[in-house]
Amino acid sequence: MEERSVIVETRDLVKVYGDGPEVRALDGANMSVHRGELVTVMGPSGSGKSTLLNMIGALDRSTSGRVVVKGEDLSSIRDLDAFRAQEVGFVFQLHNLIPTLTASENVEIPMHGQVKQRQRRKRTQELLDLVGLIDRAGHLPSQLSGGERQRVAVARALANQPAILLADEPTGSLDTTAGREIMELLQKVNRERGMTIIVVTHDRKVARMTQRILTLEDGRIVDDHPVQTPLVEDLRELARSQLGQSLLDRRGKILKEVGLGSDAGLTEQGEYLRGLLVGLT
C-alpha cells in the first residue's frame, strides 16, 4: 500500500468525565488516520467511541494527550467553533436534522457565516444531487424516510468541504437496507472526493464496508487492522467470539478427535476444520 500523509492522529488521549464518580471514557487512546481513508471505530457500548469521535471533531477538549488534525494540535486552536465549521463534518444517529428546516435549509446551516449567499444555493444543489435527493430539497425532515434523512445529514456534513467527515453510528436507527445505502454513499464520497471518513459503529457488516477497523475497549485501541476478504473477516469474527475462543482453547483435543494427530484416515470434514483452525490462528 502506498504511503499517504496522516490527517488525524491521537496520542495518549485521555478523557475523564464527571465530578462525582470519575469515568475514564478514554484512557490513552493512540490512533492515526491517513488522508483519504475510510475507517471504522468499533467497540462495545460505553467503550468510548463517541468520546473519541467528539475529541477528534473538536467538540470538547481532552483531559490529557494530543489530538492532531491536519497537522494542527487542537489544544492550540482557540476558535473551535470556526474549526468545526470549516474542517469537520458531523453525521449523528437519526434525529439530527433541524425539524423546522427543509432538506436544503438543513444543508445550508454550516454555511452560515462561511459561504456567500449565492454560492450557498449552488453548493446545496450540488450536494443534494450528490446524495440523490435533489427532488426532495423542499421537504421537511418529517416528510423524509430515515435513510433520506441521513443522506441529508451527509450532504450537510460536506457543506463546507471539510477535511474530515465523522459519522457516529450513522446507521444506528436504520434498517439493514437503508444502512447499507448510507454506507455505499459514504464509500462513494470517499472514492470520488477523496474524503477522509471515520465511522463509529458496532455493526460488523457496516465496518466491513470500510478500509480499516480500529477496535476500542475500555478507552484504548486494542486492535487495528485493514479489512480483508470476507472469509478472513468471518474467521476473524469467529475467533473473537466465545465459540471461536473455546474452539481455539480445545484445539489439540479437537485435532486429536478428528484424527489429525495421525495422518491416517483424514476425512473431508477433517480437512475443512483444519483449514478453519489454521485460518483462526
Partner 1 sequence: MILRNLLGRKTRTFLTLVGIAIGVAAIVALVAIADGFASGYYGLLSGSQADLVITQAESFDMSVSVIDEEVGPQLTALSGVEEVEGVIIGEATTEGIPYFMVFGYDPKGAGIQHFRVVEGKELTAKREIIIGKLAAENLKKGVGDTLRLYDSAYRIVGIYETGAFFEEGGGVISLADAQAMLKRPRQVNTYTVKLRDVDQAEAVRQRIERRFPDLLVVESANFADQQLGLQFVRAFAWALSFLAVVIGGVGMMNTTLMSVFERTREIGVLRALGWRKGRVLAMILSESLLLSLLGGLAGVVLGVVAVKALGRLPAVSGWLQGEFSLGLFVQAAVVTLALGATAGLYPAWWASRLHPVEALRYEGGGGEGVSPRLPGGMTTRSLFRRKTRTLLTMVGIGIGVATVVALVGLTDGFIDDFTALATGSGTDLMAVEANISDMAYSAIDEKVGKRIAGLSGVKSVSGTVFSVAMSEETPFMIVFGYHPAEYAIRHFKIVEGEGLSANRQIILGHSAAEAMEKQVGDKVRIFDSSFRIVGIYETGASYEDSGGVISLREAQALFGKPRQVGFLGIKVEDPHRVEGVRQRIEEEFPEITVSLSTEFAERLPDLQAMEALVGGISFLAVIVGGVGMMNTMVMSVFERTREIGVLRALGWRRSKVLFMVVRESLLLGVVSGLAGVVMGVAMGKALTLLPFIGGLLKPSFRSYTFVQALIMALALGMIGGLYPAWWASRLHPIEALRYE
Ligand X SMILES: Nc1ncnc2c1ncn2[C@@H]1O[C@H](COP(=O)(O)OP(=O)(O)O)[C@@H](O)[C@H]1O
Q: Is the dihedral of CA 107, 112, 115, 118 positive or negative?
A: positive
Residue 152 CA to residue 133 CA, distance in Å, equals 8
The CA distance from 245 to 166, in Å, is 33
Q: Yes or no: say if 146 and 173 are a contact pair by the CB < 8 Å rule.
A: yes
Q: Which stretch binds ligand X (CB under 6 A): 45-53, 63-71, 123-131, 172-180?
A: 45-53
Position 51 contacts ligand X (CB under 6 A): yes
**What's the chain's length in residues?**
281
Nearest to 153 by CA among 172, 32, 35: 172
95 near partner 1 (CB under 8 A): yes
Which listed range, 20-28, 43-51, 186-194, 245-253, lies at the site for Mg ion (CB under 5 A)?
43-51
The verdict on 50 binding Mg ion (CB under 5 A) reads yes
Kindly state the smallest distance separating residue 91's Cβ from partner 1, in Å.
Answer: 10
Considering only 101, 248, 254, 277, the residue that binds partner 1 (CB under 8 A) is: 101
CB-nearer residue toward partner 1: 51 or 201: 51
Q: Which is nearer to ligand X, 40 or 51 (CB)?
A: 51
Closest residue by Cα to residue 108 from 127, 124, 129? 124
Is the Cβ–Cβ distance between 170 and 93 less than 8 Å? yes
Residue whose CB is less far from Mg ion, 50 or 104: 50
Q: Interface with ligand X includes 80 (CB under 6 A)?
A: no
Helix, coil or strand: residue 39? strand
Hey, what's the cell of 152? 441529508
Span of 56-64, 194-202, 242-250, 256-264 interacting with partner 1 by CB under 8 A = 56-64
Q: How far is the CB of 170 from ligand X (least distance, A)?
A: 13
Strand pairing category for 164-168 and 196-200: parallel
Stretch touching ligand X by CB under 6 A, among 46-54, 101-109, 223-231, 259-267: 46-54
CB of 70 to ligand X, least distance (A): 23
Cα 247 to Cα 237: distance, rounded to the nearest angstrom? 13
Cβ distance 89 to 196 under 8 Å?
no
Among 138, 194, 252, 275, contact with partner 1 (rule: CB under 8 A)? 138
Which member of 86, 125, 173, 187 binds partner 1 (CB under 8 A)?
A: 86
C-alpha cell read off for 118 = 449565492
For the sheet with 6-17, list strands across it.
23-34, 6-17, 64-69, 72-73
Q: Which is nearer to Mg ion, 49 or 84 (CB)?
A: 49
Residue 170 makes contact with partner 1 by CB under 8 A: no
By the criterion CB under 6 A, which residues form the site for ligand X?
17-18, 23, 25, 43, 45-51
By the criterion CB under 8 A, which residues form the site for partner 1?
54, 57, 59-60, 81-86, 88, 90, 92, 95-102, 105, 109-110, 112-114, 138-142, 156, 160
By the criterion CB under 5 A, which residues form the site for Mg ion?
50
